[in-house]
Amino acid sequence: MASRAAQGDQVAFARLVARHERRLRHFLGRLAGTGIGDELAQECFLRAWQRAGDYRGRGSYAGWLYRIGWRLFLDSHRLAQRRAAHDALEAAGPDAEPHYPAADAALDLERLLARLDARSRAALVLCDGHGWSHAEAAEMLGLPLGTLKSLVARAKVALRAGLQEGEP
């Protein structure tokens, strides 16, 4: 089906979208938030259609699609960080001290996930949240397998530590 979509078959591409849409939206939503994740998923499918001929079948179609989504997320994340830093500087005024969030903020799983760096969060969500194997997730993120395994392990350690901090 992926090879037919790569040749411009709209029906085959629509089937691929139907097959991968829910999980891709969930993945991107966990990384960027639901609204932004939905927008990124739409952009991902648009780019996949526009670049359908670039898919060569060397890896899984899901891996190729998630890699597009991952790159879109990184671009969006970088842009949001630059905007937030700019807005904070403008709002603070010239003599204001920098503001840092309280270290003892209420901890829940979403907040802990948000505290992870983007690569660790993506690796953990793909493997533990979506059930992809380490090899599949490494392919999706364009990382060596050992790097992916390290990211997942460190993310789990960070989540456990955060959960323990929140205990009475």
pLDDT in tens, 21-61: 999 999 998 888 778 889 999 999 999 999 888 888 788 88
CB 163 within 8 A of CB 64: no
**Are 6 and 53 contacting, i.e. CB atoms less than 8 angstroms apart?**
yes
CB-count exposure of residue 91 (10 Å: 0-12, 13-18, 19+) = exposed
Mean pLDDT of 150-163: 91
Give the model's confidence band at 77: pLDDT under 50 very low, under 70 low, under 90 confident, else very high.
confident
Determine the pLDDT at residue 47. 94
Same domain as 133, residue 91: no
Q: For the full predicted model, state whether its pTM sits above 0.85.
A: no
Looking at the structure, tell me whether residues 24 and 65 fall in a common domain.
yes
Q: Which domain holds residue 54?
A: 1-99
Whether 33 and 78 share a structural domain:
yes
With 0-12 / 13-18 / 19 or more C-beta atoms within 10 angstroms meaning exposed / middle / buried, residue 70 is buried
What pLDDT does residue 108 have? 64
Is 142's pLDDT higher than 60?
yes
